[in-house]
Amino acid sequence: MSTILQGGPHAGPRAASNPVLSIKDLRVSYTTGLGTVNAVDGVSLDIGAGEIFGLAGESGCGKSTIANAVMRLLQAPAKITAGSIDLNQCNVLTLSDEELRRTRWRDMSMVFQSAMNAMNPVMTIGEQIMDVFTTHEKMPKKEARERAAHLLSLVDIKADRLKSYPHQLSGGMRQRVVIAIALALNPSLLIMDEPTTALDVVVQRDIMAQIKELQQSLGFSVLFITHDISLMVELSHRMAVMYAGRLVEVAPSNVLLDDPLHPYTTALMNAFPPLSGPRTELLGLPDAPPTSAGRPSGCSFHPRCPLAMDACRIQDPVLRPAAENHDAACLLVPEFVVPPERLAQ
């Protein structure tokens, strides 16, 4: 894939020195009548300034829960039980309601999964963009309208669409409007929770290209969530693969694509057809990820893992360096030891 963003300032170190978003040991649990499920089970990750960070995994692995935890949109029965989320060195989890309201959209915004449902059906596009400005910047209506028109132009939509209602736009346009709304206040972090799953592949590519362009000109960081690993590899600088509430592999995207270390990452990649190249047989992954019934002993992936050993049933692997800039949580992957001469530096 030639479109992979090669190198760049963020492809290198595993944690930027001044991360825009820093999640440490985040744990989120859902308490239901059937018991407590740890949807996110000790996830740590950093996203640097101007970095696009991808988060991939099957449905139910906890990707969206992380996104909602960062925005503090989780509602009962979901509960953050441990960890911290720092946005620009400020802990999001300890903000008061009013501080949180001010922080939302100004410092972090979100593009929701389904653009059709993310917009109020009885308000015009314009009103839904303008209320961001009138609320956060106390801007007069006229100015807000001009800013809204400008925003739409960023995503190639004509200003006369401000008077349209969501149902009058096509799916792709709606998603672009939602992206425009998300960029209204020039946030430092944009969270995209499967922003293109509802769209066809062609529109999907257009929108992705547009996001990349905007990201390069505006410089925001992105937490990009999808189960479409090929899409993610194209877009993101660095990415993490998630399984059953934990990160199992983290690496720059091109590294992950060329040299996946965790068997789950390999399986995930085999499940998606490449857009170009020879026809290959797709390999699905048998069974389903662990559910509320509880996680398996040892490595939670071992029941589905083609390479599982006896030790996998007993020992729970932790995420550790597997190479320079490459972390993996698998017993098959030997731990990478930093050469002593590098340590001395």
Partner 1 sequence: MRFLLRRLGFYLIAFWACITLNFFLPRLMPGDPVSRMFAQVQTQMRPDQIAALRQLFGLTNKPLWQQYLDYIGNIFRGNMGISLSRFPTPVSSVISSEIGWTLLLGATSLIIAVVLGNLLGIIAAWRRGKFLDSVFPPLLVFVGSFPYFWLAMAALYLFGIVLGWFPLNHAFTDGVEPSFSFSYVADVANHLVLPALTIVLVSIGGWMLGMRNTMIATTAEDYITMARAKGLRSGRIMFHYAARNAMLPSITAFGMSLGFVVGGALLTETVFAYPGIGYQLLNSVQALDYPLTQGIFLTITTAVLAANFLVDIIYVRLDPRVRVS
Q: Which residues bind partner 1 (CB under 8 A)?
A: 71, 73, 100-106, 109-110, 112-114, 117-124, 131-132, 135-136, 165, 167-168, 178, 181
Bridge partners of 323, per DSSP, are 326
Residue 114 Cβ vs partner 1, minimum distance, rounded to whole Å: 6
Residue 53 Cβ vs partner 1, minimum distance, rounded to whole Å: 19
CA distances (Å), origin 342, targets 12, 255, 324, 335: 16, 21, 11, 16
Are residues 224 and 53 in contact, defined by beta-carbon separation less than 8 angstroms?
yes
Nearer to partner 1, 112 or 243 (CB): 112
The structure tokens listed for 171 are 């799916």
Residue 54 Cβ vs partner 1, minimum distance, rounded to whole Å: 21
Alpha-carbon span 305 to 332, nearest angstrom:
11
Residue 100 Cβ vs partner 1, minimum distance, rounded to whole Å: 8
Residue 103 Cβ vs partner 1, minimum distance, rounded to whole Å: 7
For 301: left if phi > 0, alpha if psi spans -120 to 50, otherwise beta; the answer is alpha
Query: Pick from 221, 259, 227: which is nearest to 241 by CA?
Result: 227
Nearer to partner 1, 181 or 268 (CB): 181
Q: Phi, psi at residue 179, to the nearest 5°? A: -65, -40
Non-local (6+) Cβ contacts of 33 within 8 A are: none
Nearer to partner 1, 186 or 216 (CB): 186
Q: Phi, psi at residue 138, to the nearest 5°? A: 50, 40
Nearer to partner 1, 75 or 345 (CB): 75
Nearer to partner 1, 18 or 168 (CB): 168
Alpha-carbon span 191 to 87, nearest angstrom:
12
Nearer to partner 1, 117 or 291 (CB): 117
Residue 134 Cβ vs partner 1, minimum distance, rounded to whole Å: 9
Concatenating the DSSP letter of every residue in 290-323 gives --TT-PPSSSTTGGG-TT--GGGGT-----EEEE
The structure tokens listed for 215 are 């990201």
Residue 336 Cβ vs partner 1, minimum distance, rounded to whole Å: 39
Nearer to partner 1, 145 or 304 (CB): 145
Residue 276 Cβ vs partner 1, minimum distance, rounded to whole Å: 35
Nearer to partner 1, 86 or 137 (CB): 137
Nearer to partner 1, 31 or 120 (CB): 120
Query: Pick from 318, 251, 247: which is nearest to 4 by CA?
Result: 251
| 21-32 sheet: strands from edge to edge | 35-47, 21-32, 78-87, 90-91
Residue 150 Cβ vs partner 1, minimum distance, rounded to whole Å: 18
Three-state secondary structure along 189-257?
EEEEECCCCCCCHHHHHHHHHHHHHHHHHHCCEEEEEECCHHHHHHHCCEEEEEECCEEEEEEEHHHHH
